[in-house]
Structure 1
Amino acid sequence: MPHLVIDYSGEDLGRDRIAPMMDGLAVAAAATGVMHAADIKIRARGFDDYLVAGRRDSFVHLAVYLLAGRTPEQKEALSIALRQTLVEHCPDIVSLSVDIRDMDPVAYKKRLKGA
């Protein structure tokens, strides 16, 4: 279930850097024990048009969507681990951020074809 959605400045990161970063984020997230590796879904979106504090500074923003139920300590540990992974993969990027979002388990619905 966990979804990791990466938004980034498209001119600063190419596919050659995004794929290894996605792999690193999956490993880091699973290593925290907050989520299972087999459940993690990751996608990335590069943006051509953006402003960061009114400037075209490079950025990577990671939004993590989890079903509610983790403790604040678990979410903080996850956020710190993921931010560190971003730092390792993107030392040249000006703005790196991580946002952990709780999803309502009653309202969240999904369908898996064939399941």
Structure 2
Amino acid sequence: MPHFIMDCSQSVLESHKEEFIIEQVHLIAYSTGLFDEGDIKVRINPFKKFIVGNKTDDFIHVFTHIMQGRTTEQKADLSKMVVTMLTTMFPDITNIAMNISDFEKATYCNRTML
């Protein structure tokens, strides 16, 4: 944890390689000091078919899932940093967004916890 899952239109990957985008999201997440580097997970889901506002305009949306405990300000800053970086990388894409959801510590389980 945390998980950064980027949904985007397939054509986004024509501007930058997938590995480079993943690396940039990872670097921003680590630079915040909120997460241990080895815990950060980044994935990209490109879509060939989609509609955004009844159009087929390119889009990027990052869904981020983190363990509860960060402040609203920390989460807002993280979102702004990632969206700013993506806006710089993809200046022609007008639909760039991110949201953050908290994992509830009491209900979270992974294999090492068994």
Common fold by TM > 0.5: yes
Say whether residues 1:38 and 2:38 are aligned partners: yes
* Deviation per residue, 1:30-56 (Å, 9 max, x gap): 111121211100111011111000000
Task: Name the residue aligned to 1:106.
Answer: 106
> How far apart in 1 are the matches of 2:101 and 2:19?
23
1:39-79, CA deviations, whole angstroms, 9 ceiling, x for partnerless residues? 10011101111100000000010011001110011101111
Code of the residue aligned with 2:71 in structure 1: it is T
> What TM-score results when the alignment is normalised by the length of structure 1?
0.89
For structure 1, the residue ranges without an aligned partner over 5 or more in a row are none
RMSD (Å), alpha carbons: 1.8
Identity across matched positions, percent: 30
List structure 1 segments (4+ residues) > 4 angstroms apart after TM superposition.
none
Structure with bigger helix share is 2
Is the Cα contact below 8 Å between 1:34 and 1:78 reproduced in 2? no
For this pair of structures, how many residues does the alignment match? 113
1:27-106 aligned at under 5 Å gives the runs: 27-106=27-106
Q: Does 1:24 align with 2:24?
A: yes
C-alpha separation in 2, matches of 1:59 and 1:34: 27
CA distance in 2, matches of 1:96, 1:104: 27
TM-score, structure 2 normalization: 0.90
